[in-house]
Amino acid sequence: MRNMRPHRFPPLSQVSAGLSPAAQAHLQLTQADAFKDGMDRGYREGYDIGIEAGRETGTAQGREEGRRAGVADARREVLERFDALAAPLDAALIALRQLQSDYQSALRKEVVELVAKVARQVIRSELALQPVQLLSLVDETLATMPPAPEGVEVYLNPEECERIRELAPDRAERWTLIADPRLEAGECRVKAGGREADAGCRQRLAACMEQVSAQLLQAEEEAAP
């Protein structure tokens, strides 16, 4: 075993040197065919590997793009459905708010009318007991008018005019009291220096009710969310 030496094959050129020209030509043709087959096989294998790699890469990219497109389409569809469902809810909410506003307005109006009705009854009762209080209203009205060089005329309901003359003749003598059947109880007009003013209870009550209504409206706005 120790005497064995590796055998070296002679180069192919030396081998072919001993062949006939026909054998050498056949050998060269065989080598060319083998080389061509190797090139073709390598090309096909490389092409197949490239196609497979490209297919895998394209599939992954297509899958990711499809996923993104699907998510976007689903989000858009959900938003469209939500808008379609929210539209009638928004309309119902607006209608509910309008209904609530109308109800509050109607309730406020009823409260003002009730307060005005009660106030008129109280005023009527007070004037029935003490009609002389109308003269205090005349004093307040004259205080807002320029001084009159001539006498003051006070127009009253006939019944109240008569009772005032009976209950407070000294105060009644300060002005000229005139009975006017067109005036309701509690109403009074004052003429002084060519000017005329309403000294009755109706316009004062109306002004008071306007303030009450304004205060109720302000309280409603402050309590609104």
What pLDDT digit, counting tens, does each position of 140-186 carry?
888 888 887 678 899 999 999 999 998 888 888 888 899 999 998 88
The pLDDT value given to residue 16 = 54
The type of residue at 98 is Q
Residue 22 has pLDDT above 90, yes or no: no
SS3 sequence of 13-57:
HHHHHCCCHHHHHHHHHHHHHHHHHHHHHHHHHHHHHHHHHHHHH
pLDDT digit string, tens, across residues 67-78: 888 888 888 887
Q: Residue 218: pLDDT above 60?
A: yes
Give the three-class secondary structure for 181: coil
Q: Which of the residue ranges 22-26, 96-100, 104-108, 201-205 would you say has the lowest mean pLDDT?
A: 22-26
User: Which two tokens mark 117?
Assistant: 């009705």
pTM of the model: 0.47
19: left (phi over 0), alpha (psi -120 to 50) or beta: beta
Mean pLDDT of 8-28: 60
What integer is the mean pLDDT of 124-145? 83
Average pLDDT value for residue range 32-55: 74
Are 189 and 197 contacting, i.e. CB atoms less than 8 angstroms apart?
A: yes
**What's the rounded Cα separation, in Å, for the pair 36 and 196?**
129
Using a pLDDT cut of 90, give the percent of the chain over it.
7
pLDDT value at position 135? 86
The architecture in CATH of the region 103-223 reads 2-Layer Sandwich (3.30)
